Amino acid sequence: MLPTISIIIPAYNAERTILETIVSVQEQTFSNFELIVVDDGSTDRTLELLHNVKDERLKIFSYENGGVCVARNRGISHANGEFIAFLDADDLWTPDKLELQLAALQQHSEAGVAYSWTYFMDEQGESLSPGEPAFFEGNVYAELLINNFLANGSNPLIRRQAIESIGEFDTTLKACEDWDYWLRLAACWHFVVVPKHQILYRQSSGSASSNVEVMEKANIMMIEKTYRAVPPELQSLKNQTLAWIYRYCAEKVLQYSTDNIGEVNRAGQKLLRAITLNPKILQEKYTQNLIKWFIKRWVLIQFPLLNYQPAHQTISKV
């Protein structure tokens, strides 16, 4: 009997997290799946650890390193399921992720993609912060153009028919390849939401999202490509899209950079560019909090004595 769902995990030097990720798949309440792990030329103990996993649903394929897009495409070529899910080798799912997303797609035959909400997890997997909920359903193309509310590559469950209709991941992209793929799906298929935080997305200093300049360049390149095919009535959204990218990059600079004034100023420049492109984002609490964070970092670097706290005192939050 063919599996209902194919789960594709691209893995490159993932020895630190791969077993925890696989356990989160094995603990799913929906069990009729195949787990396809594409080893993308790992040089650590990833393959050794994988071969010690005892689960007949696990299939391991090894290739020379090609990058995450190539690995996902290779996984698709091996998939037998009616539905396909992608999971990065350092992310996790809650046990009901597949069950609820599958039910959502079965209840909405017109939908090609089911998505959920995301927890943002620190590098050690110890701190969880719930991402902002999104409730977009049906034709979500315009909303997804403005920002990637799916948040990561480990989120959706996708009908095989939808994947076959749009083809492979774009291997020329060095970042934001998942947003590009979700946009291509949204241009052709309806989406449905599972209103629950089900994806645990690990944010690490070694991840692609921490290489801000590469990420920014790839995002802008992808958006320029996308807007060449966007219908005329949606072209006016482009400045909002670019503003979201620059604001996101400003946050990442603040999050991953060392405490030096040059990096903080770089974040401020990106934030100013975002506001210039779309002044309305100043009304959003997210932007307001980011501005407060930027100001606090700038002040404490310029005036380090303000960071001194006698035992009986506390500094009020900016």
Where in the sequence is the domain holding 143, given as residue range(s)? 5-209
Q: pLDDT value at position 75?
A: 98
CATH of the domain at 163: 3.90.550.10
Are residues 48 and 190 both part of a single domain? yes
Asked whether residue 309 is assigned to any structural domain, the reply reads no
* Residue 60 pLDDT: 98
| Close Cβ partners of 172 (under 8 Å, ≥ 6 residues apart) | none
Give me the pLDDT at residue 304, please: 75
Residue 26 lies in a domain: yes
Residue 139 lies in a domain: yes
Structure tokens of 25?
Answer: 């798949």
Question: Would you state the pLDDT for residue 314?
Answer: 30
Same domain, 65 and 157: yes
pLDDT in tens, 291-315: 999 999 899 888 876 654 443 333 3
Residues in the chain, pLDDT under 50: 208-209, 308-318
Please, is 225 exposed, middle or buried when counting C-beta atoms within 10 Å of its C-beta (0-12, 13-18, 19+)? middle
Helix axes of 238-256 and 285-302: crossing angle, nearest 10 degrees: 40
Rounded Cα distance between 146 and 272, Å, is 18
Report the number of distinct structural domains present in the chain. 2
